[in-house]
């Protein structure tokens, strides 16, 4: 699981963003993917065990364009 980092309010926002960008760019594609999955799990837990979005039951809709 990730770490929570609390920043001092005296640190300029630009330097915080630069630090986060360096950290993000240093990760491999696999690490980025697993971080995304972990974020999804946390969001479900924070939403009472329910996903933020649910399928509408329609599946994939494929239709021809209407040509008039």
Q: Is residue 16 part of a domain?
A: no
Q: Is residue 64 part of a domain?
A: no
| Cα 30 from Cα 9, distance rounded (Å) | 32
The 10 Å CB-count burial string (b at 16+, else e) for 33-44 is eeeeeeeeeeee
Q: Is residue 5 part of a domain?
A: no
Domain encompassing residue 44: 28-53
Q: Is residue 35 part of a domain?
A: yes
Q: What backbone phi and psi angles, to 5 degrees, belong to 40? A: -65, -45
Q: Is residue 37 part of a domain?
A: yes
Q: Is residue 4 part of a domain?
A: no
Q: Is residue 33 part of a domain?
A: yes
Q: Is residue 42 part of a domain?
A: yes
What is the pTM assigned to this prediction? 0.57
Q: Transcribe 12-30 into DSSP letters.
A: -HHHHHHHHHHHHHTS-HH
pLDDT tens figures, 16-57: 999 999 999 999 999 999 999 998 999 999 999 988 877 777
Q: Answer whether residue 1 shows pLDDT above 90.
A: no
**Number of domains making up the chain:** 1
């Amino acid at each position: 699981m990730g770490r929570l980092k609390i920043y001092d309010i005296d640190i300029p926002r630009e330097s915080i963003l630069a630090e986060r960008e360096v950290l993000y760019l240093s990760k491999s594609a696999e690490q980025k993917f697993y971080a995304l999955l972990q974020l999804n799990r946390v969001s479900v837990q924070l939403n009472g065990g329910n996903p933020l979005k649910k399928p509408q039951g329609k599946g994939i809709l494929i239709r021809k364009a209407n040509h008039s």
